[in-house]
Amino acid sequence: MIRLTFSLTYFLISIIIFVIEILIATVFSNIFFVRAYLGDVIVVMLLFTLVKSFLIIKNNHILILGIFLFSCLVEWTQYFHIAEKMGLPPGSIMYVIVGNSFSWIDIACYAAGCLLLLLLVPKK
């Protein structure tokens, strides 16, 4: 069962992770490992905390699986260059969010982030 809620704790964690993601994209953009891999590992954690900020979902493992599948779907759209087909200007915020290049390594990073979540959060 899914119910609406507001969790200040998860929301504040989401803000912290979002700031980290912004720092990765800007300040630490020259550090290859951080920019190429760590950001993708952390983004699934951002999605998890953001969902938990507004929804009560009893089974965290199902939520984590859903986030992984969603991340793979977004990555797959990059294979088909959806951002360009949508007419999004390169460099725009939406273009960056949607992404522009498919990578199996990104999917591996999403999986790593989801596995970390599975280890860190209880099932219920």
- Report the predicted TM-score, pTM, of the whole model to 2 decimal places: 0.90
End-to-end CA, the chain: 12
Q: What is the mean pLDDT of residues 94-122?
A: 93
Distance of alpha carbon 50 from alpha carbon 15, whole angstroms: 9
Q: What is the mean pLDDT of residues 11-35?
A: 94
The pLDDT, as a whole number, for residue 93 is: 84
pLDDT over 80 (residue 37) = yes
Higher pLDDT, 57 or 91: 57
For residues 15, 26, 96 and 20, what is the CA-based torsion angle, rounded to 10 degrees? -20
pLDDT over 80 (residue 16) = yes
Q: Do 123 and 60 contact (CB within 8 A), yes or no?
A: yes
pLDDT over 80 (residue 1) = no
The pLDDT, as a whole number, for residue 3 is: 93
